[in-house]
Amino acid sequence: ETGVTQTPRHLVMGMTNKKSLKCEQHLGHNAMYWYKQSAKKPLELMFVYNFKEQTENNSVPSRFSPECPNSSHLFLHLHTLQPEDSALYLCASSQVGGGRNNEQFFGPGTRLTVL
């Protein structure tokens, strides 16, 4: 498969569950991102990884835990979420460097519902 893939596409979980979202990019990029997209709210950047190192954590609650084992894979571990965490979670990748802010390629997202 090409581009950026995300699994699962839909997830329903209770507040006491533990689950993980997975993202994989097949583009040879060196940076990966997690975003939260809620209805009627701007796109929120959650985490950034450059060369597998986390470079940004935008005050995200600790119930969200990212993991980047290599430059092609990105996980978002979820535990004890709240109903307000229900949203579309988007993964993106880009090739950074050379002083340019290059295009980000997005996955289809995981639609998360917390009951």
Residues within the interface to another protein (CB under 8 A): 31, 33, 41-43, 45, 48, 50, 56, 90, 92, 94, 96, 100-101, 103-109
| Shortest separation between residue 75's beta carbon and another protein, angstroms | 19
Sign of CA dihedral 33, 2, 23, 10: positive
Instruction: Give the angle subtended at the CA of 52 by the CAs of 44 and 17, to the nearest 5°.
Output: 55
Residue closer to another protein by CB (options 102, 113) is: 102
For strand 31-37 and strand 44-50, is the pairing parallel, antiparallel, or unpaired? antiparallel
| Shortest separation between residue 3's beta carbon and another protein, angstroms | 9
| Shortest separation between residue 47's beta carbon and another protein, angstroms | 11
Residue closer to another protein by CB (options 48, 74) is: 48
Q: How far apart are CA 13 and CA 29, in angstroms?
A: 31
Amino acid at 17: N
Residue closer to another protein by CB (options 78, 107) is: 107
Residue closer to another protein by CB (options 13, 45) is: 45
Helix (H) or strand (E) holding 50: strand 44-50
